[in-house]
Structure 1
Amino acid sequence: MQNNTNTFFNKYHIDANVCKSLSLMGYNQPMPVQEIVIPHVLDGLDLIVQSNTGSGKTAAFGIPIVHHIKIDETLPQALILTPTRELAVQICEEIAEIGKYKKVRCLPIYGKQPIHIQLRQLKQRVHIAVGTPGRLLDLIKKKNLKLEAMKYLVIDEADELLKRGFWEEVEAIVKKMPLERSTLLFSATMPSQIEAICADYMHNPIRIEMEPNQIPIDQIKQTWYEVSQDWKFKLLTKILDVYLPKKCMIFCNTRNKVDQLSNKLLRGKYNCVALHGKMAQKYRLRAISDFKNGKVPYLIATDLAGRGIHVDQLDLVINYTIPHENESYVHRIGRTGRVGEKGEAISFVSEHDKKRWLEIQAFINYQVKQGSENMLRGTHPSPSIKPRKKETHSKNKKRYQDITKLRINAGKKKKIRPGDILGAVSNLPGITSEDIGIIDIHDTCSYIEIFNNKGLRVLNGLRQGKVKGRPVTVKKVSNRS
């Protein structure tokens, strides 16, 4: 298959199946960081990249790594270290999207998830592992995560890993990696400890520094309102009613404020979810999923919880409270205005915040325009955010319309192996290996992805046939895994 309209195919000769995924994801032209990084990763070089969040760096390393993955290799070939569980899941989701048609399996690994789930997945074929250093190091020491076939080590958001006290684990993992590998380090800043690991464990790394304020300043309309603490909530609801954003992130400085504000919005019939570090892991992941999928339009978050969350077509970011650190402001507004889209950020500034607000404007070297009540009069959205048809679900439907995921009521306990299911499906009339995606075997059931709109054909065929000599029950499940 050739894709003459996809720059990644024409310019970098990326695997055609990867380009098929990229086209469905909307990646037809590389972003600046991708243009610079991809050729070096394809050449197997070590890289040190200074780049802000939201610059497209996940795809910058994800695309060439997926391109080079050997599908038949049974051991993991790439390891990606991240500072948070949420970011690990998010990177894994994006890489799984990139590698879907090449049948690349990516596994998120992090603490507070039952370890038996991760061990079960590692016993099957996993091409790329993404996770937090603590749990990864534990699995490596116990030899559950094998490193012999590793060709890539990615250290993402290295400065955040350092801030969170993960650096000893990071160094321990680096020391255990094969010497013959590519090491890719991404960080917004370069403290001395990070420089040390670059000097000790990287081979003639190429340094790349992206323009730090390029995305927020060039692509994001910024406005601030002077408002007292007592009137913030009224101003917030007025903005939400006028702008009618499909997706909006609202940042607060503390967990308590996140809980208070989300509860108040829910009482006011504004559909929202909260996100902060004290929430149980399953609720945090569910909140992110519901927000990203468009089920809930408003996400109320702290800086730490919101760090690294990538959301398509985020209309609006609101700083309900002004952040304590200058960098946090850039990270917050960097959630919007991604992948060449226009975005908007609004900040609430009380009398107490004015000095802090001047410091932030000096830091970004940009004078933010002050808004007024007159700008919010009327019932129509702001000119900068035009109402659009609800497109999240239609976009996802288009992306997944040729993929069907089937559940088979037979798994490891019935001694079913991937080859058994592969054989049964391959023998069906009109089905080839190109129509079969990832096969995932669990204890009591198995899942298989079917491409090219042939899901119904396979569903009916398996219902009338057998797997490993015995009849099975098969049903269709959600296309999204």
Structure 2
Amino acid sequence: MNEDFFTLGLEKDIIKAVNYLGFEKPTSIQKRCIPIVLKKKTDLVALAQTGTGKTAAFGLPLIQKINNHSNNIQALILAPTRELCIQISEDLKNFARIKKTKILALYGGASISDQARNLKKGVQIIVATPGRLQDIINRRLVILSNVDYLVIDEADEMLNMGFQEAIDKILETVSKKRNTWLYSATMPNSVSKIIYQYMNDPIEVTCGIKNQSASTVNHYYYLIDHKNRYKVLRRVIDYNPSFYAIVFCRTRAETQNITNRLQTDGFNTDGLHGDMSQMQRDAVMKKFKKKKITILVATDVASRGIDVDNINHVVHYQLPDEVEVYTHRSGRTGRAGNHGKSISLIGAKDRHKLIKIEKTLNFKIEKKNIPSSSEVIKALVTKSIDDLLNSKINEKSLKPFKKIIDDISQKTTSNKIIEKFISHSLSKMINFYEDSEDLNSLNKNQLFGSERVFINIGEKDGLNWAALKDLLKDKTSLNDEDLNGFDVKRSFSFFNVSKEKLKLVFKSLEGFSLGGRDVVIEISKKSKENKSLKIKKGRSTHPNTKGRRGGEFKNRKNVSKNKRIKKNKLL
């Protein structure tokens, strides 16, 4: 008998299932949560990162508490995605392999008629996504008034996906006498609101620090020039020859573009985004889990619910806007006791996001130098030789070639053979990197050596970021390295300019007008001299002047925070 799990208060039938599954020792979240909910009826809030064993933390005691002699629905588990819903139901069936508890998964993309028929047969635990469950409730196909236990898994993810209204309606339907167990990786305000409204004096268990990333994940960033973003990604992949990773992108278009480029460059990769059917997404995930593809390029929404233990890298091709999303992305690696790396590609406009992540998570993210071409070649050669030395020799298959092998060994040395093997097998890669540029030397001051500038023209002037950039390049004769980080709003915009070119920009735009309006620019934050320049009709003025323009700018800053203009359809 597994004494470690037995001491938590689990019954023999549950321990037998645990032993069959090969669980050796309970994780921290399991040690702390299982005894609490087994000893007394209570609400519970458990904060822990993904990959720490949360499903067993609620699943094992839940199976033990179910009365198998009753066909009433006694427990309801809410999960944010179809994939996670299926994963949890499969895990629960494994936990109940001796007890034979009846478990049903309800999720979109499957026949609702089949799910209704299975409900009529009688089930004791339902695992459901909020959208499908709400649909089933509206059709009066399920009664939840006898539910004793409600589990909300990955609560922060669920609310971040926009399920607040569905959750409210479901919680109003479920028995008021229930115990609620809420599991979350982070504690944003939306989760706190759920706890306040629907839970009764819950016991809180925190493994690690609230809103902090898992300790099994090392965080790094590379300082990049935006135009080299893909080059840096490719270099990171080649520098880590055993790369098994998810590359996170912000939009569907970017996801597909990066997928296509990686495939063209010969990498085993595929994409995951919202334009794909459920069948296509399932096929991609199946290949990824079997390592038929080793790089998954995905949007945040499409990747939710991914549960793969051996991912060793997560790459933030673009940083997300929310720290919680960064935490969830990073939590896809370093799971089940393994260690992983979370790598961010940081350009000029990402500075404030990086600072926000570090401040919220309460640790510094280490800056790494982008691997040089010689370092990448060395890593590739080392991996190739390791694979060669560790490969198994099939004596029977080689027997017909023994004389040829002996003849070759007489003509040359083993060193020469290895050198020829490297040259032959890696010639394409070596040629690609041999004369490649040093990506660290390009625009090193771009992130911290630039100023954020406000300009009073935007979308209503017929400009998008590309058009505004072209306009400024034309007026100032600057290049892409000097101008970046464009953020175009309805009636104004922001951009970054390198500090050494700042005066040139102001001088070049003196007296400039567009569409009959004077163009006004100013530094959007205090400079080192605590000054800000404003140009109107060829004059520079201090920003603290009590003029109409200064007041308008303050209002504009508030508008820019509260009324985000979505330039891309994000996932």
Query: What one-letter code is carried by the residue in structure 2 that aligns with 1:328?
Result: V
**CA offsets, 1:271-295, max 9 Å, x none?**
2222223322222233223322333
Q: Does the 8 Å contact 2:212/2:327 carry over to 1?
A: no
Partner of 2:25 in structure 1?
29
* CA displacement, residues 370-404 of structure 1 (integer Å, 9 cap, x when unaligned): 13324534135999xx99x99xxxxxxxxxxxxxx
- Which of 6, 13, 36 matches 1:40? 36
Query: What is the Cα deviation at residue 79 of structure 1?
Result: 0.7
- Asked whether the 8 Å contact 1:316–1:336 carries over to 2, the reply is yes
Shift of 1:264: 1.9
Q: Deviations along 1:326-347, whole A, 9 cap, x unmatched?
A: 2222211111112222112222
* Matching of residue 378 in structure 1 with residue 378 in structure 2: yes
Q: Which residue of 2 aligns with 1:207?
A: 204
Aligned-partner Cα distance in 1 for 2:370–2:360 = 24
Judge which range, 147-156 or 191-200, deviates more: 191-200
TM-score of the aligned structures, taking structure 1 as reference length: 0.71
Pairs within 5 Å for 1:341-352? 341-352=338-349
One-letter code of the match for 2:167?
A: V
Q: Offset at 1:204? A: 3.1
Deviations 1:222-253, CA, capped at 9 Å, x for gaps: 33223334433333334333423363111111
Distance 2:267 2:14 in 1: 39
- Assess, with a 3 A threshold, how the Cα gap between structure 1 residues 308 and 382 changes in structure 2: closer, same or farther: farther
Of the candidates 157, 171, 174, which is equivalent to residue 171 of structure 2? 174
* Contact 1:243/1:382 (<8 A) preserved: no
Residue of structure 2 equivalent to 1:68 = 65
Hey, what's the Cα distance between the residues in 1 that align with 2:313 and 2:61? 32
Q: Note the alpha carbon deviations across 1:434-481, whole angstroms, 9 max, x for none.
A: xxxxxxxxxxxxxxxxxxxxxxxxxxxxxxxxxxxxxxxxxxxxxxxx
The residue matched to 2:127 in structure 1 has which SS? strand
Q: Distance in 1 between matches of 2:229 and 2:192?
A: 43
SS in 1 for 2:42: coil
* Per-residue deviation, 1:65: 0.7
Which position in structure 1 is the counterpart of 2:311? Answer: 314
Tell me, which stretches of 5 or more residues in structure 1 are unaligned?
391-481
Pick which of 358-367 and 55-64 moved more.
358-367
Q: Which of the residues 213, 216, 220 maps onto 1:219?
A: 216
Q: Distance in 2 between matches of 1:335 and 1:381?
A: 29
Between 60-69 and 286-295, the greater mean CA deviation after superposition: 286-295
Say whether the 8 Å CA contact 1:242–1:382 is kept in structure 2: no
Equivalent runs, 1:438-477 vs 2, <5 Å: none
Cα offset for 1:193? 6.0
Q: 1:234 to 1:106 in 2, by over 3 A?
A: farther
Aligned to 1:128: 125
- Which residue number corresponds to residue 369 of structure 1? 367
Paired residue secondary structure (2:365):
coil
Q: Helix, strand or coil: the match of 2:218?
A: strand
- CA-to-partner distance for each residue in 1:35-74, whole Å, 9 max, x for gaps? 2111122233211233333333222111111222334433
What is the CA deviation profile of residues 404-451 of structure 1, one whole-angstrom value per residue up to 9, with x for unaligned ones?
A: xxxxxxxxxxxxxxxxxxxxxxxxxxxxxxxxxxxxxxxxxxxxxxxx
Aligned mates of 1:193, 1:249 — CA distance in 2: 27
Q: Report the secondary structure of 1:335's partner residue.
A: coil
Distance 1:328 1:190, change over 3 A: closer
Paired residues of 2:237 and 2:243 also in contact (CA < 8 A)? no
Cα distance in 1, alignment partners of residues 272 and 364 from structure 2: 29
CA pair 199-333 structure 1, distance change in 2 beyond 3 A: closer
Q: Indicate if the aligned counterparts of 2:84 and 2:306 stay in contact, CA closer than 8 A.
A: yes
SS in structure 2 at match of 1:222: strand
Q: CA deviation at 1:101?
A: 4.2
State the one-letter code of the partner of 1:237: R
- The 3-state SS of whatever aligns with 1:218 is coil
Q: Does 1:254 align with 2:251?
A: yes
Residues 52 and 212 in structure 1, CA contact (< 8 A), matched pair in contact too: no
Is 1:326 the counterpart of 2:323? The answer is yes
In 2 relative to 1, CA 268–280 (structure 1 residues): closer, same or farther, beyond 3 Å? same
Compare 295-304 and 222-231 and name the one that shifted more: 222-231
CA pair 62-246 structure 1, distance change in 2 beyond 3 A: farther
> For the structure 1 residues 226 and 210, does the alpha-carbon distance in structure 2 shift closer, same or farther, using more than 3 Å as the test?
same
Aligned-residue RMSD, C-alpha: 3.1
Partners in 1 of 2:156 and 2:212 — Cα distance? 20
- C-alpha deviations, 1:103-149, integer Å up to 9, x for none? 33432212343212312332334332112223212323434223354
- 1:234 is aligned, of 231, 236, 243, to 231
CA distance in 2, matches of 1:134, 1:217: 30
Q: CA separation in 1, counterparts of 2:51 and 2:360?
A: 19
Instruction: Indicate the SS of the match to 2:220.
Output: strand
Q: Structure 2: which amino acid aligns with 1:209?
A: T
Q: TM-score, normalised by structure 2?
A: 0.60
Q: Which residue of 2 aligns with 1:15?
A: 11
Alignment-derived partner of residue 82 in structure 1: 79
Find the aligned partners of 2:190 and 2:331 in 1 and give their Cα distance: 26
Deviation at 1:189, TM superposition (A): 4.8
Which amino acid is the alignment partner of residue 7 of structure 2? Answer: K
Q: Which residue of 2 aligns with 1:463?
A: none
Q: How does 1:103-118 map to 2 (within 5 A)?
A: 103-118=100-115
Q: Is the contact between residue 187 and residue 210 of structure 2 (CA under 8 Å) also seen in structure 1?
A: no
For 1:224 and 1:275, locate their aligned partners in 2 and report how far apart those are by CA, in whole Å. 24
Structure 2: distance between partners of 1:191 and 1:358: 18
Structure with higher Rg: it is: 2
Q: Which runs of 5+ in 2 are unaligned?
A: 392-571
Alpha-carbon distance in 2 for matches of 1:347, 1:163: 22
Question: Helix, strand or coil: the match of 2:215?
Answer: helix
Provide the C-alpha distance between the structure 2 equivalents of 1:193 and 1:250, rounded to a whole number of angstroms. 27
Give the whole-Å Cα distance in 2 for the aligned partners of 1:224 and 1:197: 34
**Alpha-carbon displacement from aligned partner over 1:171-197 (angstroms, at most 9, x marks no partner):** 322222234422112234556665455
2:15 alignment partner AA: C
**Aligned pair partner of 1:277 in 274, 279, 284:** 274
Structure 1 residue 257 displacement after superposition = 0.9
Please state whether the residue corresponding to 1:300 is helix, strand or coil.
strand
Q: How many positions carry a matched residue from both structures?
A: 384
What SS class does the counterpart of residue 315 from structure 2 fall into? strand
Partner of 1:57: 54
SS at match of 2:379: coil
* Residues in 2 aligned to 1:197 and 1:356: alpha-carbon distance in whole angstroms: 27
> Separation in 1 of the partners of 2:321 and 2:200?
38
Q: Residue type matched to 1:368 in 2?
A: E
For residues 321 and 97 of structure 1, the distance between their equivalents in structure 2, rounded to whole angstroms, comes to 38
- Counterpart CA distance in 1 for 2:367 and 2:281 is 34
Q: Describe the shift of the 1:220–1:189 C-alpha distance in structure 2 as closer, same or farther (beyond 3 A).
A: closer
Three-state SS of the structure 2 residue aligned to 1:378 is helix
Cα shift readout 1:12-32 (whole Å, capped 9, x = no counterpart): 242334334434545322222
CA contact (8 A) 2:161 2:301 kept: no
